[in-house]
Amino acid sequence: MHDIKYIRENPELFDANLNKRGVDASSKEILLIDNERRKLQTLIQEKQKSRNEISKKIPEIKSKGQDASSLFDQVSLIKKEISEFEKNETQLSEKLNSYLLELPNLIDNDLPIGTEEQNKLIKTWGTIKKYDFTPKDHVALGENFSEIDFQVLLSCQVVGLLFFLGKLLN
């Protein structure tokens, strides 16, 4: 997931980097959600401080024999407000995290930008096997031998999950 602090400090670089990946990311939208979330966090802290100050006054007033019911009502009202603010803050946090998780990783600055044909081979390791036949991928093999149930896979909608049947189970 992306670092929100980096996005706050470098919104233009963040957007430019994602544009290189072909993603129209808007740091503005991310920062709007983040600012709202931070405002709510500040409000929550202020309300908690206010609640604590009022709560400290209650024993003093009771010790003097005075009625503290209005203070109890204030504390109760503040607790409800805090609860509502916390619910909204949680929703904004989830929305922000969801948005950040959907974005791809940033590209390293040393990575050259270009098409696959423009890639440069820097190093190879081992020897490439030569086959006297054309190798098939797992999809073609599964379809040929009816050992992978792609219809069940489609209904599960999980990327990278395979169901093996028959001989492939062994």
Cβ neighbours of residue 84 closer than 8 Å, sequence gap 6 or more? none
Give the residue among 77, 82, 10 at the shortest CA–CA distance from 44.
Answer: 82
pLDDT score at 77:
96
At residue 165, what is the residue type? L
In angstroms, the CA 120 to CA 116 distance is: 9
SS3 track for 77-98: HHHHHHHHHHHHHHHHHHHHHH
pLDDT digits (tens), the chain, 170 positions: 899 999 999 999 999 999 988 888 789 999 999 999 999 999 999 999 999 999 999 998 888 888 888 999 999 999 999 999 999 999 999 999 999 999 999 988 888 877 888 888 888 999 988 889 888 887 787 777 766 666 666 666 655 556 565 665 55
- Structural domain spans, the chain: 4-102, 123-169
Does CATH place domain 4-102 in 1.10.287.40?
yes
Predicted local distance difference test score (pLDDT) of residue 112: 80
